[in-house]
C-alpha cells in the first residue's frame, strides 16, 4: 500500500449523486403528483440514507483500497495490496452489473463486507478488512448499500485478477481461517461507558479498522487478540503501539495532539503520518467530523496500556546535532559514519536542516517517532518511498530515494543504511542499527510471518508424504508376498 490512491475529495465531485434511485423515480413522481408532501419526505429519507452511507464509506475508507492509483475510477478496483502472501487486487465495487456489484442484493453485500464471502460463494482474503467490518451495525450496512447502489457511478471495468502462489491460491482455506479467527458479533455498546466512548469504539474498531494495522498478528496472520493496538507490521511500515501506555503508547500525547494527528497527519515535534497512515488520514480521517475525531481519541485514551520496548518515549528522543560538530569527531576517512554524514548533508539537510531541527515547512528529525522508535522500519521506509499526503489544500511531500524513485537522487541500500544510522545516532534512538540487509528486508515487505515461510514447503511436503506412504505400502505388500506360506 505504497502509492496513495485518489482522495475522496477528488471523487466526491465526480460521483453521481442520485437523490433517489432510477427505479424508484416513476413511483416517486406518481406519489408526488398525488400527495406532494409525502413524496418530498420520501425523497429526503432516501437521499439522507445515501448521504449517511457516503459518510460511512469514507469513515471505513472503502475508496483507499478499491480505487486504482494515479486517477483510477473511484471504487472500480485494481489497487494491488502488497501482502506477505503476494499481491492481492481489490475488486470493482461500483454498481456495474457486468464487472461490479450491481447484482448484489443487500444480503449479498452485507455477507461480503462482514463475512468475506462474495456473491458467488468464493472466499475473500482478509486483505479486505471484513474482520473489522463484521462489527458494522445493520442500520449502517443498509446505508452503505444504499450509497453503493445509488450514490456511486457504475463503471464497466475488470480489474486485474489476484493470483497468489499455492497453497494460498486455494480460497476455500479461508473458510477454515474464518472459523478460527473471524468473530462475527456485531458491535456491542458498553453501557458502563459514555456515548462518546461508544461512538469512538465503534468508529475505531468497526469502520476505521485501526486494529488491522496497529494490532500485532500471530503466525497465521490473524490479529493477536491479547494485544489490541500494541503495534503491528504493515508490509514495509510499522504501525506503532497506540495503547494508552504513557511511554510505549500514546498516553503521553495530549487530546489536541492526537486529534491534530488524525485530522492532518502532522504534529510538530512529535510525528508525521507517512505510508499507510498517510492514506488513512488523506482518504478517511481528515473527512470525519470533529465530534467523531474527539470520540476516537476518548476511546484511545481508555485502551488498556501495553508496555513495549520503547524507553524512553519514542516521541522524546534526540536533540539538535550539528554536522560541524559531527565532522570534527574524526579526521576525514576516520569518522565512523562519514558516508552517512555525506548522504545526510547531500540529500536530507536541505529540508530537515543541518542540525536536523527542521523549520516551518519540514519536520525536525529529533522528537520524531520515526527516528525514536525501537525499530527502523518507518525511517527506512520514508527514505525508500518518500511521503505524500494531501490534507485540504496542503500537500506534504518528501521525495523517495529508493530504487523505485522516479527522481535522480536514488540511494543504494548501503547509502540508506548509512544515512539511517547517522540520523539514528545523532537525532533518534542510537540503540537501533541498520544494515544494508535490513534495508533489503524492509524493501521486500518486511519480516514474513511463519505461515508464509512454511508455504514453499507445502508442495514438497505433500509430495514427500505421498512418497513415504507409497513406499510403506509397497514395503508392506512385498513383505506379505515374501512371507513363507504357512502350513
Ligand atoms: C484495506 C483494503 C480494503 C478496504 C479498506 C476495503 N476493501 Fe473491499 N476488498 C478489498 C480486497 C483486496 C478485495 C478482494 C479480495 C479478494 O480478492 O479476496 C475486496 C473485496 C470486496 C468485495 C467483494 C467484491 C466482489 O467482487 O465480489 C466487496 C463487496 C467489498 N470489498 C466492499 C468493500 C466496502 C463496502 C468497503 C468499505 C466499507 C471495503 N470493501 C473496504 C480490500 C479492501
Ligand atoms: C492501513 C494501516 C493503518 C490504519 C488503518 C491505521 N493506522 Fe495509524 N499508523 C499506521 C502506520 C504505518 C503508522 C506510522 C506512520 C509513520 O510514522 O509515518 C501509524 C501511526 C499512527 C499514529 C502515530 C503514532 C506514532 O508514534 O507516530 C497514531 C496516533 C495512529 N496511527 C492512530 C491510528 C488510529 C486511531 C487509527 C484508526 C482510526 C489508525 N491509526 C489507523 C498504520 C495505520
Ligand atoms: C524536499 C524536502 C525533503 C527532503 C530532501 C527530505 N525530506 Fe524528510 N520529510 C520532508 C517532509 C515534507 C516530511 C513530512 C512533513 C509532514 O508530514 O508534514 C518529511 C518527513 C520525514 C520523516 C518523518 C517520517 C515519518 O514517517 O514520521 C523522516 C524520518 C524524514 N523525513 C527523514 C528524511 C531523510 C533521512 C532524508 C534524506 C535521505 C529526508 N528526509 C529528505 C521533506 C524532505
pLDDT in tens, 134-181: 999 999 999 999 999 999 999 999 999 999 888 888 898 889 889 999
Query: What would the grid cell of residue 36 be?
Result: 406532494
* Residues 364/351, Cβ–Cβ less than 8 Å: no
- What span, in angstroms and rounded, lies between the C-alpha atoms of 317 and 311? 9
How remote is the C-alpha of 60 from its chain's centroid?
12
Nearest ligand, measured from the Cα of 162: 1
Ligand 2 site residues (CB inside 6 A) read 204, 208-210, 212-214, 234, 237, 239-240, 242, 250, 261, 271, 273-277, 280, 296, 300, 314, 369-370, 378
Per residue in 257-274, pLDDT (tens digit) is 999 999 999 999 999 999
Name 401's Cβ contacts closer than 8 Å, sequence gap at least 6: 347, 383, 384, 386, 407, 409, 410, 411, 416
Q: Which ligand is nearest to the CA of 314?
A: 2
Residue 6 has pLDDT above 80, yes or no: no
Average pLDDT (379-402) is 96
Quick one: what percent of the chain has pLDDT higher than 70? Answer: 83
Q: Which residue has the higher pLDDT, 6 or 119?
A: 119
Q: Is the pLDDT of residue 342 over 60?
A: yes
pLDDT of 341 > 80? The answer is: yes
Q: Which pLDDT value is given to residue 32?
A: 39
**The pLDDT of residue 33:** 39
pLDDT band at 40 (very low <50, low <70, confident <90, very high): low
> Helix (H) and strand (E) counts for the chain?
21, 8
- CA 372 to chain CA mean position, Å: 22
What is the Å distance from ligand 3's center to 217 Cα? 28
Pocket test for ligand 3, best of 285, 321, 351 (most atoms within 8 A of CB): 351
Per-residue confidence at 429, pLDDT binned at 50, 70, 90? very high
- Evaluate if residue 2 carries a pLDDT over 50: no
Residues β-bridged to residue 257: none
Q: What pLDDT band is residue 194 in, cutting at 50, 70 and 90?
A: very high
- d(Cα 56, Cα 47) in Å, to the nearest integer? 14
Q: What is the pLDDT of residue 384?
A: 96
Question: Residue 56 pLDDT more than 50?
Answer: yes
Tell whether 30 is in a known binding site.
no
Pick the residue whose CA is nearest to atom 43 on ligand 3.
398
Determine how many CB atoms are found less than 10 A away from the CB of residue 184. Answer: 11
Angle of helix 255-264 relative to helix 275-283, nearest 10 degrees, comes to 90
The pLDDT assigned to 165 comes to 84
For ligand 2, atom 18, the nearest C-alpha belongs to 274
69-83, 218-232, 300-314, 328-342: least confidently modelled range? 328-342
Q: Is 213 annotated as a binding residue?
A: yes
**CA–CA distance, 208 with 64 (Å, rounded to integer):** 12
Whether the full predicted model's pTM is greater than 0.85, yes or no, is yes
Question: Residue 359's pLDDT is what?
Answer: 94
For residues 387 and 100, what is the distance between their CA atoms, to the nearest angstrom? 32
Task: Name the average pLDDT for the chain.
Answer: 86
Atom 32 of ligand 1: nearest residue by CA position: 113
CA distance 187 to 205: 8
**DSSP string of 357-400?**
---SSS--SSS-HHHHSSS-HHHHHHHHH-EEEEETTEEEEE--
Domains of the chain with CATH codes: 8-181 (no CATH), 195-301 (1.10.760), 323-443 (1.10.760.10)
Q: Between these two residues, 299 and 327, which has the higher pLDDT value?
A: 299
Any known ligand binding at 214?
yes
Amino acid at each position: 500500500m505504497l502509492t496513495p490512491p485518489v482522495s475522496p475529495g477528488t471523487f466526491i465531485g465526480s460521483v453521481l449523486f442520485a437523490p433517489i434511485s432510477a427505479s424508484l423515480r416513476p413511483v416517486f413522481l406518481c406519489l408526488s403528483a398525488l400527495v406532494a408532501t409525502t413524496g418530498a419526505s420520501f425523497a429526503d429519507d432516501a437521499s439522507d440514507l445515501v448521504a449517511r452511507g457516503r459518510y460511512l464509506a469514507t469513515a471505513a475508507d472503502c475508496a483507499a483500497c478499491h480505487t486504482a492509483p494515479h486517477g483510477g475510477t473511484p471504487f472500480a478496483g485494481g489497487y494491488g495490496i502488497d501482502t506477505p502472501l503476494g499481491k492481492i487486487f481489490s475488486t470493482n465495487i461500483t454498481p456495474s452489473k457486468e464487472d461490479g456489484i450491481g447484482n448484489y442484493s443487500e444480503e449479498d453485500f452485507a455477507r461480503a463486507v462482514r463475512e468475506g464471502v462474495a456473491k458467488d460463494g468464493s472466499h475473500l482474503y482478509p486483505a479486505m478488512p471484513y474482520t473489522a467490518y463484521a462489527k458494522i451495525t445493520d442500520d449502517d450496512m443498509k446505508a452503505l448499500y444504499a450509497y453503493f447502489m445509488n450514490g456511486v457511478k457504475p463503471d464497466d471495468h475488470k480489474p486485474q485478477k489476484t493470483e497468489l502462489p499455492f497453497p494460498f491460491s486455494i480460497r476455500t482455506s479461508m473458510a477454515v481461517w474464518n472459523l478460527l479467527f473471524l468473530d462475527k458479533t456485531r458491535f456491542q455498546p458498553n453501557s458502563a461507558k459514555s456515548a462518546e466512548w461508544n461512538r469512538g469504539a465503534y468508529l475505531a474498531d468497526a469502520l476505521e479498522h485501526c486494529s488491522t494495522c496497529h494490532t500485532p498478528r500471530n503466525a497465521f496472520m490473524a490479529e493477536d487478540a491479547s494485544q489490541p493496538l500494541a503495534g503491528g507490521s504493515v508490509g514495509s511500515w510499522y504501525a506503532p503501539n497506540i495503547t494508552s501506555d504513557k511511554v510505549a503508547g500514546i498516553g503521553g500525547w495530549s487530546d489536541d495532539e492526537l486529534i491534530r494527528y488524525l485530522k492532518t497527519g502532522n504534529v510538530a515535534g512529535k510525528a508525521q503520518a507517512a505510508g499507510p497512515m498517510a492514506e488513512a488520514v488523506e482518504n478517511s480521517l481528515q473527512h470525519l467530523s470533529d465530534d467523531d475525531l474527539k470520540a476516537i481519541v476518548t476511546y484511545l485514551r481508555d485502551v488498556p496500556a501495553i508496555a513495549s520496548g520503547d524507553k524512553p518515549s519514542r516521541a522524546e528522543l534526540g536533540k539538535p546535532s550539528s554536522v560541524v560538530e559531527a565532522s570534527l569527531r574524526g579526521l576525514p576517512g576516520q569518522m565512523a559514519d562519514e558516508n552517512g554524514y555525506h548522504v545526510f548533508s547531500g540529500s536530507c539537510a536541505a529540508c530537515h536542516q543541518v542540525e536536523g531541527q527542521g523549520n516551518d515547512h519540514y519536520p525536525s528529525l529529533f522528537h520524531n517517532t520515526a527516528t525514536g522508535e525501537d525499530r527502523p522500519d518507518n525511517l527506512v521506509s520514508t527514505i525508500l518511498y518518500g511521503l505524500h499526503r494531501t490534507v485540504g489544500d496542503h500537500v506534504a511531500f518528501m521525495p523517495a530515494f529508493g530504487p523505485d524513485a522516479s527522481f535522480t537522487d536514488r540511494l543504494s541500500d548501503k547509502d540508506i543504511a548509512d544515512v539511517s544510522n547517522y540520523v539514528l545516532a545523532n537525532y533518534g534512538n542510537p540503540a537501533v542499527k541498520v544494515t544494508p540487509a535490513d534495508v533489503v528486508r524492509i524493501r521486500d515487505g518486511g519480516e514474513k510471518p511463519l505461515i508464509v515461510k512454511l508455504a514453499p514447503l507445502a508442495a514438497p511436503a505433500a509430495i514427500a508424504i505421498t512418497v513415504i506412504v507409497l513406499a510403506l505400502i509397497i514395503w508392506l505388500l512385498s513383505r506379505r508376498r515374501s512371507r513363507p506360506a504357512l502350513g
